[in-house]
Chains A and B, each alone.
Chain A
Amino acid sequence: MRRGSRWFAALMISPTLLVLVLVVLYPLLAAARESMYVRGEGLDADGFVVEGERFVGVANYAGLVGERFVNAFANTTVFTLATVAVETVLGVAMALVMHGVLRGRGLVRASILIPWAVPTAISGLMWRWVFQADGVANAIIGQKILWTTEGVQAKLAVIIADTWKTAPFIGLLVLAGLQIIPDMVYEAAKVDGASAWQTFWRITLPLVKPALVVAVLFRILQALAMFDLPFVMIGRGKFSVETLSALIWDEATQLRYGPAAAYGIVLIAYVSVIVFVFVRLLGADLLADARSRKERA
């Protein structure tokens, strides 16, 4: 390789890296620092009143054992587990159906993109309306459930709304994975006398796994950062649906930057752990292509 091309690559990459340093790395470091300071007045060692920030070490992290944080942490975890599990099953089912459809494929694909296209905030509003006390959801099931008030039913409503929006997205990615499986493989399975169930578990699922794993990983990341749906659908500061992101946002906008940053650091640590475990267990090989290219070169 000629030397010039290394410079060319560096030039091409540096604008992106510069932007990411400014909008991701800097906030991360600033938040880490912020999490060890508090705002406001205090007394220094000599008894003088000092304005501004004060170093407090890990004091901001004390909130981690508080009821509000524990609740938000639990909500985030429950939402992530429930929505991603349901979406994966529904999405795979949708993909299998769509794959076999011969007529009206265009219609199915167009309609599956609609939930994806509706902005989350708007879908929150839409579901808030569906789940009104006098709304259509109660009319259909013939009950009088107060979905959008504090309680388990609010959690359920959020899970339903989130599933609506994202199951089709998983379906779309899995469908693309299905379409690159050659028919030959299925014919061979048929010849060998495999049942439909066996074919699914032994052939289809392993072959769509790379597409599915990436889709699920991205969904987990989104679910762990969930904010707008409960905020718009149920309301600000509602205990039963308050996620970690909502808690961080609330603290930050109340100018309690210290605790907000501390919770933020915990959230990113939590996300990192989940991603690490997920990638280890399921082998989401995000860098596969780069690696195989290197080997070839």
Chain B
Amino acid sequence: MRRTLTAGLIVVYCLAPFYWMVVSSLRRTVDIFSTTPWPSPPSLENYAAVFGGHSDFGRALLNSLIVSGVTTVLTLAVGVCCAYALARLTFRGKNLVLALIIGTSMFPGALLIVPLLKLFTELGWINTYHAMIVPSMSFALPLAVWTLTAFFRQMPHELEQAATIDGCTRWGAFRRVILPLAAPGVFTTAILAFFATWNEFMIALTMISKADMQTATIRVAQFGGASDFDTPFGTQMAAGVVVTIPLVILVLVFQKRIVAGLTSGALK
């Protein structure tokens, strides 16, 4: 009983601030400072403000989707091969490669910004999708390789042998036998990489100055100047909910896989 109570406390701790964001987003502008535990009366005014007018929030969501989607696909395509080699092949210098990949995941994003901002300005890449996609791979790729390596290691060792006996080449064994079997792991890694890129802030903030190229996280943070009042909190909360809801749905649907993905790297 006491345990159930403490567990209840954890649920409240995790959900209360989020609940408050949702409740506030459903209030009318006039009673935004009200502290009742539910909106009375509820209103979709703030959501109308998010998508209406000149804010064009749909465009920002689309930009986020494009950047995260392309980054995820590219990262997976490259990372899956590397992770396979690291997990299932023996070769010299493997530890060095592994150490290098772990090392790059320690790389602070701010250091990346300085030379890339300069480079992209010279290349005329500012305000393009690739100016966000390419630097995003710096954190998505080590994450993907790390998680995928753990997944590949869990598969039985006889798979490649069996495939080679059946006349597969190494590449054939990888593509026709291992990859289909690893699909759940690849999918989980894709979710994690997508999350990481969707949440990215600093790169998008630096490389994009035009409003119609901004991603959703940047747009939400900059909601403000549009109205004549000071900070339009209701609109911000509604936009925050809109950006978070796709992620929450993904989490609820795939929670077992996500937990497996997050923990596999840590536990090996």
Contacts and interface: CB of A to CB of B under 8 A. Distances in A.
A19 B145 CA distance: 12
B229 interface: no
Interface stretch (A61-69, A79-87, A198-206, A285-293): A285-293
A118 B78 contact: no
Contact of A24 (B13, B138, B265): B138
A195 interface: no
B266 A214 contact: yes
Interface hub of B18, B119, B135 (most chain A Cβ within 10 A): B18
A124 B17 contact: no
A252 to B, nearest CB: 5
Nearest to B247: A117
Contact of B81 (A13, A118, A177, A290): A13
B240 A20 contact: no
Interface stretch (A40-48, A184-192, A257-265): A257-265
Interface string B183-225: 0000000000001001101100110000000000110110000
A139 B267 CA distance: 42
Interface string A102-113: 011011111111
B21 A129 contact: yes
Contact of B111 (A27, A180, A231, A288): A27
Interface string A15-35: 111011011101110110010
Nearest to A161: B17
A125 B244 CA distance: 12
B137 A19 contact: yes
B181 interface: no
A5 B111 CA distance: 37
Given A12-B89, A119-B243, A227 B141 contact: no
Interface residues of B, number: 93
B83 to A, nearest CB: 8
B17 A103 contact: no
Contact of A110 (B90, B98, B255): B255
A164 B21 CA distance: 14
Contacts of A73: none
Contacts of B24: 129
B259 A5 contact: no
A178 to B, nearest CB: 11
A225 B118 contact: no
A271 B108 contact: yes
B92 to A, nearest CB: 8
Interface string B80-123: 01101110011110110111111011111111111111110000
A268 interface: yes
B221 A124 contact: yes
A126 B10 CA distance: 19
B91 A6 contact: yes
A127 interface: yes
Contact of A20 (B14, B101, B113): B101
Interface in B25-47: 33, 35
Given A104-B7, A122-B243, A252 B106 contact: no
A101 B251 contact: no
Contacts of A50: none
A184 B193 CA distance: 38
A31 to B, nearest CB: 5
Contacts of B255: 106, 109-110, 113
Given A104-B4, A120-B199, A129 B111 contact: no
B98 to A, nearest CB: 6
Contacts of A34: 114-115, 118
Interface in B65-89: 78-79, 81-82, 84-86, 89
Given A101-B7, A225-B108, A288-B268, A119 B247 contact: yes
A268 B268 CA distance: 27
B89 A9 contact: yes
A127 B221 CA distance: 12
B89 A28 contact: no
Given A23-B134, A97-B7, A130-B20, A172 B263 contact: yes
Interface in A121-138: 121-127, 129-130, 132, 134, 136
A290 B135 contact: no
Contacts of A16: 78-79, 81-82, 101, 141, 145
B132 interface: no
Interface of B: 3-4, 6-7, 10-11, 13-15, 17-18, 20-21, 24, 33, 35, 78-79, 81-82, 84-86, 89-92, 94-95, 97-102, 104-119, 134-135, 137-138, 141-142, 145, 153, 170-171, 174, 195, 198-199, 201-202, 205-206, 217-218, 220-221, 233, 236-237, 240, 243-244, 247-248, 250-252, 255, 258-259, 262-263, 265-268
Given A13-B85, A20-B104, 12 more contacts: A5-B90, A12-B89, A19-B78, A97-B10, A108-B11, A114-B251, A129-B237, A168-B14, A172-B263, A244-B110, A261-B114, A291-B95
15 contacts: A13-B85, A15-B78, A16-B141, A16-B145, A17-B82, A27-B116, A114-B18, A125-B220, A177-B266, A245-B108, A253-B117, A257-B117, A287-B95, A290-B94, A291-B95
